[in-house]
Amino acid sequence: MRLRGGAPVRSAAMAALAAVAVLSGSCGGGNKAQAQNPTPAISSVFPDSATALELADCSSGPTFMLAVLGTGFFSNSTTNQSQVLWNGSPRDTTFDVVTDQLNATITACDIQSPGTAQISVTNPAPGGGTSSSINFPINPANNGQPTITQLSPTDVAAAGPGFSLTVTGTNFLATSQVAFNGAPRATMFNPGTNQLTASILASDILCPGTATVTVTNPAPGGGTSLGSSFASDPANSQQPCILQLSPASIPAGSGAFTLTVSGTNFNATSTVSFGGAMRTTSFDSSTGRLSAMIQVADVMSAGPKSVTVTNTAPAAGTSAVFVFNVN
């Protein structure tokens, strides 16, 4: 199409086609999106701790292989692969295509001194990124003897629920064990905080009184700390409390029997209740125990039976429930 003067005029459609041609380039030569590397994540490592070597010269010391398990690990070449970081510094890393795990060479100097190392994995761009780090404890060659400097909380109400006890101190390890009145309790080590967390059972604080908390480290070296006091505060200092039943259980249909109840704050006015019903009770002043006559009907059917002790003097009160099992 031309004007009267002979100059060509492009239509809107022709202009649009020209723009597409410029943006597209030559046929088959358009840009392609580059594949993005995944973001790594660590689930676990093996081994999960080490013993400090404490060598005079660590430069010639032994190395070990650290297996790192997780997701988002890969290897396309020596320059485009996942890399294990030890305290933020890269370590020689290989990728196992069979197990999808990374294997990193850890040097003697990496575990020369006790402490906690941070392990992470980084993937190169495009995409990629660095995983969250996990703690790797480096334990002393000879475990130190632990000490307790603080308990939190320092006391709880007696007959309450189980709780977590935080123990602060020194020379704590991943293998340290908290004991409550001499009984080992499930213990978790909190690296970098000099703290242990122990799961204290409801049965540990059933009765008012003062318990002793200790921490034990295993050999080599190690040992048990001095005890630290923990109080179970009573709502009523004269309230009775059951610590043990004998027998602790009985088969259904066994017949009448005598139940011995051990505990604290029992006296001549104490009465035992079995399954909600008061039973004939006698008090042995020489042992501080109660004996209750349990009837045939009380144990005819299987199931848990609640046992309590009630005092009328010098201070009234009823103990927390202690469970007796009829099997």
Among residues 288, 216, 302, 292, the alpha carbon closest in space to that of 254 is found at: 302
In a domain, 205, yes or no: yes
User: Does 10 map to a domain?
Assistant: no
Q: What's the 3-state SS for 261-300?
A: EEEECCCCCCEEEECCEEECEEEECCCCEEEEEECHHHHC
154 is a domain residue: yes
pLDDT at 69: 97
Task: Check whether residue 45 and residue 118 sit in a common domain.
Answer: yes
Is 152 inside a domain boundary?
Answer: yes
Distances (CA, A) of 178 to 85, 199, 261: 33, 9, 29
Residue 234 to residue 197: CA distance in whole angstroms: 24
Question: What is the per-residue pLDDT across 42-100, written as a single tens digit (0 to 9) for each?
Answer: 999 999 999 898 888 898 899 999 999 999 999 988 778 999 999 999 999 999 999 99
Q: Are residue 106 and residue 130 in the same domain, yes or no? A: yes
Same domain, 131 and 154: no
Q: pLDDT value at position 160?
A: 84
Per residue in 177-197, is it b (16+ CB within 10 Å) or e — as a string? bbbbeeeebebebebeebbbb
For residues 153 and 133, membership in a common domain is answered with no
Q: What angle do CA 80, 82, 88 make, to 5 degrees?
A: 120
Domain match, 126 and 55 both: yes
- pLDDT per residue rounded down to tens, the chain (327 residues): 444 444 444 443 334 333 333 334 444 444 556 789 999 999 999 999 998 988 888 988 999 999 999 999 999 887 789 999 999 999 999 999 999 999 999 999 999 998 999 999 999 999 999 999 999 999 888 888 999 999 999 999 887 889 999 999 999 988 999 999 999 999 999 877 889 999 999 889 888 889 999 999 998 888 999 999 999 887 666 788 898 999 999 999 999 999 999 998 899 999 999 999 999 999 999 999 999 999 999 999 999 999 999 998 776 788 888 999 999
Do both 128 and 98 map to the same domain?
Answer: yes
Query: Left (φ > 0), alpha (ψ -120 to 50) or beta: where does 159 sit?
Result: left
CATH classification at residue 220: 2.60.40.10
Task: Kindly report the backbone phi and psi dihedral angles of residue 131, in degrees, each rounded to the nearest multiple of 5, phi listed first.
Answer: -75, 170
Question: For residues 145 and 171, what is the distance between their CA atoms, to the nearest angstrom?
Answer: 6
**Domain count for the chain:** 3
Domain that holds residue 266: 241-326
Of 233, 260, 279, the position where a domain reaches its end is 233
Assigned domain for 293 exists: yes
The answer to whether 235 touches 316, Cβ cutoff 8 Å, is no
Output the pLDDT for position 320. 83
| Assigned domain for 63 exists | yes
**Final residue before a domain boundary, out of 107, 139, 171:** 139
- Judged by DSSP in three states, 142 sits in coil
Q: Specify if 256 maps to a domain.
A: yes
pTM greater than 0.85: no
Residues 124, 65 share a domain: yes
- Residue where one domain finishes, among candidates 139, 170, 198: 139
The reply to whether 213 falls in a domain is yes
Do residues 128 and 54 share a domain? yes
Cβ-contact 121, 193 below 8 angstroms:
no
